[in-house]
Amino acid sequence: MSKQLFIVPEHEFEPVHGLPEKLPAGEKILWQGSPDWKTLANEAFHVRKLIIYFAIILSLRGVFSVADGRAFGETLLSIVMLAPLALISVSLMAWMAWLTARTTMYTITNQRIVMRIGIVLSVTFNLPFKALDGVRFRQFSNGAGDLPLTIGTKDRIAYLHLWPHARPWRFKKPEPMLRSIPEVATVANILTTAIIEASGGSAVTVGNTTGIEQLTPLQSNQAWASAV
């Protein structure tokens, strides 16, 4: 299979769910899934941080109002007047996370990874295993997690084209990322096993993560697998 990356623009229909075309002979789907929207809301759209931020702002508003000698009714009114802004901001970010999860479909076959992303304009990225240098693994407390992918070819995908399906802060060399996947450890095992079988490597196990021969533990509950 060629190492070239392929980008397929918006499509009106899918002959196979999550894919812009039927799979060629010999290729099969191993896994399909979408981000967990609640995890995505907290990790990509920072809803939890927004809630904490507005809680602090509203609390300080109340404290300063009391310190100024205002009556309880005036203090409460000053807080209530700001509350709709907080509610709209948090709701908007949560809604964006829900829309992102609903319009996203990740697919792992025995030869590649396919990312169908985009809310308004749907775009599909085909990432053959041979185009990858490696896969990273991060798991959250709820079992969901991320799988950032390092591209080994000269092809690059713009960070803004990928976001939020990109590893944070990797602007110079963007890394596509399967984000907020439920049961990410299981998906990581499926992916690394597929890479092993496609490359003819042999599998080893480190903790709960299966990878290929060069797999070593990394910090922050991550693991690295070099694609052959």
Residue 95 C-alpha from the chain's centroid:
16
More confident residue, 154 or 13: 154
Tell me, what amino acid is at 117?
I
Return the pLDDT at 62.
Answer: 85
More confident residue, 104 or 154: 104
Q: In 3D, which of 194, 178, 125 has the Cα closest to residue 156?
A: 125
For 132-184, how does the pLDDT look when each residue is reduced to its tens digit (9 = 90+)?
888 888 899 999 999 999 888 777 888 999 999 999 989 988 999 999 999 99
Distance CA 209, CA 186 (A): 8
Helices 72-102 and 47-67: crossing angle in degrees, nearest 10, is 170
Q: In 3D, which of 148, 155, 114 has the Cα closest to residue 131?
A: 155
Domain boundaries, given as residue ranges, for the chain? 6-35+104-226, 40-100
What are the two backbone dihedrals, phi and then psi, of residue 116, each rounded to the nearest 5 degrees? -100, 110
8 A C-beta contact, residue 31 and residue 113: no
For 14-36, how does the pLDDT look when each residue is reduced to its tens digit (9 = 90+)?
677 888 788 899 899 999 999 99
Residue 55 neighbours by CB distance under 10 Å: 11
Q: Is pLDDT at 69 greater than 90 in this prediction?
A: no
**CATH placement of domain 6-35+104-226:** 2.30.29.30
Residue 204 neighbours by CB distance under 10 Å: 16
Distance CA 99, CA 85 (A): 21
More confident residue, 64 or 204: 64
